[in-house]
Amino acid sequence: MGSEGYFLNQFLAPRTNCREDRWGGSLENRMRLPVEVVARVRAALGPEKLLIYRISLLDLVTEGQEWSEIVALAHAVTEAGADVLNTGIGWHEARVPTIVTSVPRAAFAHLTAKLRPEVSVPVIASNRINTPQVAETILAQGQADMVSMARPFLADPNFVATAARGEAARIAPCIACNQACLDHTFSGKLSSCLVNPRACHETELVLAPASAPRRIAVVGAGPAGLSSALALAERGHAVTLFDKADRIGGQLHYAAAIPGKEEFRGLIDWFEAEIGARTVDLRLGHAPEPDELTGFDEVIVATGVRPRDPGIPGQEGPNVISYADLLSGRAQAGPRVAVVGAGGIGFDVAEYLVTGHSTTIDPPAWRTEWGVSDPSVARGGLAPEGPRPDPAIRRVTLLQRKAEKLGKRLGKTTGWVHRAGLQMRAVEMLGGVSYERIDAQGLHVTTPDGPRLIEADTIVLCAGQESERGLADALLSRGVAAHVIGGAEVAAELDAKRAIDRGTRLAATL
């Protein structure tokens, strides 16, 4: 493990190696430790066993390595006994994202391709390779001899077998959210996967065939309802899945509309493929009445959420819209926007409002945006001119009532990327505000510094949500004990991880 700013990498970079003895200074001295380690490991392994060295091709920190040093190291470690070179990208200290969902797929394969002709051993491309098609393209273009995947195997342990059967659409995709894998790791919790809650819980969360198959209604085809319907069908139950919308996915569609969250589209597509492949009776465009549900053996209510009413005087005005109106395209925003509420949705909405073109689907533009250069040009691969994002297409102010740093509760390994993205586009962030009123001029607030008018053409409400419990309550009043899951059960934040976990766990018990 010679990358990511770990021990071996620290000896290689002038940034951290300040030694003046034979372990520091010249390139030969800085390389000595990794080369010695490889030689000793090879000696301990004997000649037959495979030794892969993960080499940092892009440190993404100041005073990192430059390309000629990386190539010299590649030669030295292969001569010392490494059989294969894997690609490492970015130190943990780097302030450029390297694996989150807004990083383009296969964003760094061009560097593996750059190393390949320099060495005689196979090279492996890594990071954000999450579908067989992406992997195949890298191999077909000759960018690498092999590809590495980490998180995709958490999302779907059958990835390889399903790809080999030619059924790529049925592979549960890693959406690179980090919510249940790395965020857990760095919080001291067991890693798992948002898309596949069975990951690392395989022996405890078991979807065994049902002893007595039953007729089960699931109302709501968002992540909670979809995951319970799939797990119930897998167990052999007869499942009827209802949704009042004419498509499945629920609020996942809002996520997929955010620039940088395109991967959510793949998750919806996968749910569609799975529902189509299983025996689920899907009834779209239909919100069942309680009486229609009394004939089922079990009823699962996954009706999701509705926006919370923040009760701001003037919010009925024509300049006020909800995040759902905005992200579904039902309403447009003007050039100056105030966003009320800075939870996960508020941050996403701000990103949507300031971004003209998603760089996640345009790797060269993404590199310019984050200041990623070539390590042949600049040490560490950091562009001397720094990040150069496209200018914001709107002037946005993001507000919250809590008197804490905005975005504090975002994901542990992803929150900083969202905050940096908005800061780069000059989004003003204001905490500790009280919302006084809305009029034609904009949003009047009281800040810790006193009263202030946020001049805005449009005010977008992202002030949280409440459980949509109408059906659940109506069923209860008829004596039908429904199981309530997802946002209909807990609406604190939109949380696909909790919804999918809850839906799958409930299905395992019925």
Ligand X SMILES: Cc1cc2nc3c(=O)[nH]c(=O)nc-3n(C[C@H](O)[C@H](O)[C@H](O)COP(=O)(O)O)c2cc1C
Residues lying near ligand X in the complex (CB under 6 A) = 1, 4, 54, 99, 126-129, 149-152, 181-182, 185, 191
If binding is defined by CB under 6 A, does position 496 make contact with ligand SF4? no
Return the one option of ligand X, ligand SF4, none that residue 155 interacts with (CB less than 5 to 8 A, by type): ligand SF4
> Residue 177 Cβ, how far from ligand X at the closest point, in Å?
11
In the complex with ligand SF4, the residue whose CB is nearer, 56 or 127, is 127
Q: DSSP class of residue 207?
A: -
Q: DSSP class of residue 77?
A: H
Annotate each residue in 191-210 with x if it binds ligand SF4 (CB under 6 A) or - if it does not, as one string: --xxx---------------
- Tokens representing 317? 């005005």
In the complex with ligand X, the residue whose CB is nearer, 181 or 482, is 181
If binding is defined by CB under 6 A, does position 149 make contact with ligand SF4? no
> Residue 226 Cβ, how far from ligand SF4 at the closest point, in Å?
15
Q: Which stretch binds ligand SF4 (CB under 6 A): 175-183, 225-233, 316-324, 500-508?
A: 175-183
Q: What is the spatial distance between Cα 443 and Cα 310, in angstroms, rounded to a whole number? A: 13
Question: Which residues, including other chains, have CB under 8 Å from residue 351's CB and lie 6 or more apart?
Answer: 258, 259, 260, 418, 421, 422
Q: DSSP class of residue 292?
A: G
> Annotated active-site positions, please?
6
Q: Are 337 and 396 in contact (CB under 8 A)?
A: yes
If binding is defined by CB under 6 A, does position 103 make contact with ligand SF4? no
Q: Are 464 and 203 in contact (CB under 8 A)?
A: no
In the complex with ligand SF4, the residue whose CB is nearer, 19 or 92, is 92
Return the one option of ligand X, ligand SF4, none that residue 377 interacts with (CB less than 5 to 8 A, by type): none
If binding is defined by CB under 6 A, does position 163 make contact with ligand SF4? no
Strand ranges (E), 230-341: 238-243, 280-284, 298-301, 305-307, 320-322, 336-340
- Tokens representing 211? 């002893």
Return the one option of ligand X, ligand SF4, none that residue 1 interacts with (CB less than 5 to 8 A, by type): ligand X
If binding is defined by CB under 6 A, does position 268 make contact with ligand SF4? no
Return the one option of ligand X, ligand SF4, none that residue 128 interacts with (CB less than 5 to 8 A, by type): ligand X
Beta strands at 450-455 and 428-430: parallel, antiparallel or unpaired:
unpaired
Question: Which residues, including other chains, have CB under 8 Å from residue 107's CB and lie 6 or more apart?
Answer: 127, 128, 363, 366, 367
Q: DSSP class of residue 21?
A: S
Q: What is the spatial distance between Cα 235 and Cα 13, in angstroms, rounded to a whole number? A: 54
> Residue 415 Cβ, how far from ligand SF4 at the closest point, in Å?
14
Q: How far is CA 31 from the centre of its chain?
A: 35
> Residue 505 Cβ, how far from ligand X at the closest point, in Å?
21
Beta bridge partners of 446: 434, 451
- Tokens representing 442? 């904009």
- 105, HSE (Cβ side, Cα atoms, 13 Å): 20
Unique residue bearing structure tokens 């470690």: 77
Out of 111, 135, 149, 180, the only residue in the binding site for ligand SF4 (CB under 6 A) is 180
Q: What is the spatial distance between Cα 309 and Cα 167, in angstroms, rounded to a whole number? A: 44
Unique residue bearing structure tokens 């995951």: 227
Return the one option of ligand SF4, ligand X, none that residue 175 interacts with (CB less than 5 to 8 A, by type): ligand SF4
Out of 65, 127, 179, 368, the only residue in the binding site for ligand SF4 (CB under 6 A) is 179
In the complex with ligand X, the residue whose CB is nearer, 152 or 346, is 152
If binding is defined by CB under 6 A, does position 154 make contact with ligand SF4? yes
If binding is defined by CB under 6 A, does position 151 make contact with ligand SF4? yes
Q: Which stretch binds ligand SF4 (CB under 6 A): 3-11, 27-35, 176-184, 473-481?
A: 176-184
Return the one option of ligand SF4, ligand X, none that residue 226 interacts with (CB less than 5 to 8 A, by type): none
| Number of amino acids touching ligand SF4 (CB under 6 A) | 14
Return the one option of ligand SF4, ligand X, none that residue 194 interacts with (CB less than 5 to 8 A, by type): ligand SF4
Q: What is the spatial distance between Cα 418 and Cα 424, in angstroms, rounded to a whole number? A: 10
In the complex with ligand SF4, the residue whose CB is nearer, 196 or 240, is 196
3-state secondary structure of 305: strand
Percent helix, strand, coil in the chain, to 5, is: 35, 15, 50
If binding is defined by CB under 6 A, does position 417 make contact with ligand SF4? no
Return the one option of ligand SF4, ligand X, none that residue 498 interacts with (CB less than 5 to 8 A, by type): none
> Residue 148 Cβ, how far from ligand SF4 at the closest point, in Å?
14
> Residue 420 Cβ, how far from ligand SF4 at the closest point, in Å?
19
Return the one option of ligand SF4, ligand X, none that residue 126 interacts with (CB less than 5 to 8 A, by type): ligand X
Out of 125, 181, 231, 241, the only residue in the binding site for ligand SF4 (CB under 6 A) is 181
In the complex with ligand X, the residue whose CB is nearer, 182 or 484, is 182
Q: Calculate ∠ Cα 122-125-128, nearest 5°.
A: 165
Between the CA of residue 329 and those of 257, 324, 344, 394, 456, what are the distances in Å?
A: 9, 8, 19, 17, 19
Out of 55, 175, 300, 327, the only residue in the binding site for ligand SF4 (CB under 6 A) is 175
- Tokens representing 14? 């002038």
- The dihedral through the CA atoms of 406, 410, 414, 418 has a sign that is negative
- Tokens representing 299? 């009823």
Selection from 267, 287, 157 nearest residue 223 by Cα: 267
Residues that bind ligand SF4 (CB under 6 A): 151, 154-155, 174-181, 193-195
